[in-house]
Structure 1
């Protein structure tokens, strides 16, 4: 999107006010963070530049995936940028992507845009082959359901 190399993006117009989508995203992440049947029983997001971003996901067969990184930018109600290239304490680690999540007021609803920006074309292709569009699309659907419930 926007001509950024190696970026994958999903967009979804949600018929829910931006404030509700933001609250769902920031306060209810364990309910929407990964596509079912996966679950995210632990989600920690310290929403400030340099704050921790940590998620533990558990699959239906007991598989576990842990993601740790840092928050790079926060514009409350509008945008969160994070990366897995840096661990808390500014420790370099193997990078996969920068995540950019945007909440754009759209009339009485919200345009939700989530992007994954990769360092290489190979990493972008790998993420796409892992089911980026389907998985992140399902996550957006789950986020919208939570936002509708709390609106």
Structure 2
């Protein structure tokens, strides 16, 4: 797969990986989508696990996303796709998503990536506001993790 079909955001979070991972997994609904939207996220974080997310907009919008977790390595990486529903039923694929964590001293480098099947899908994702949306998600994750680190 060519990197030219990938979009990504990265952020250095002022908290160690264990804190970032705990917030990532235990407070997912709080960081998963940009406010004023809210999310209900139900992930079975294991290879083959179900990924089910509903995002609710401020004007009654509802965006449902169902998929499969392809890989889940605690404290390191989660890979998911919307190419299949929970029972391995194919559906119109949009992305393979990656959430990755890497230690940088006592901080964590978070990277969110979306890999697309086609240039058209990548362009659609850019037009939907990928950079702003996934950037805001990274910011919200960082704020929660940095607050949790300070409270520890």
The yes-or-no answer on 1:17 pairing with 2:32 is no
After TM superposition, the runs of 4+ consecutive aligned structure 1 residues lying more than 6 A away are none
SS at match of 1:133: helix
**Structure 2 CA distance, aligned partners of 1:62 and 1:29?**
21
Question: Hey, what's the Cα distance between the residues in 1 that align with 2:2 and 2:145?
Answer: 30
Counterpart among 66, 69, 72 of residue 67 in structure 2: 69
Distance 1:70 1:79 in 2: 14
TM-score, normalised via structure 1 length = 0.95
TM-score (norm 2): 0.95
- SS at 1:91's partner residue? coil
Matched, 1:129 2:127: yes
Pairs aligned (count): 149
- Alpha-carbon separation, structure 2, partners of 1:3 and 1:16: 32
Runs of 5+ in structure 1 lacking a partner?
none
Cα distance in 1, alignment partners of residues 61 and 2 from structure 2 = 36
Structure 1 Cα separation of the partners of residues 3 and 78 of structure 2: 17
Deviation at 1:3, TM superposition (A): 5.5
1 CA distance for matches of 2:2 and 2:142? 27
Q: Is the 8 A contact 2:13 2:146 kept in 1?
A: no
Cα deviation, 1:74-110, whole Å, max 9, x if unaligned, reads 1111000000001111110110000011000011100
SS at match of 2:4: coil
Q: CA RMSD in A?
A: 1.2
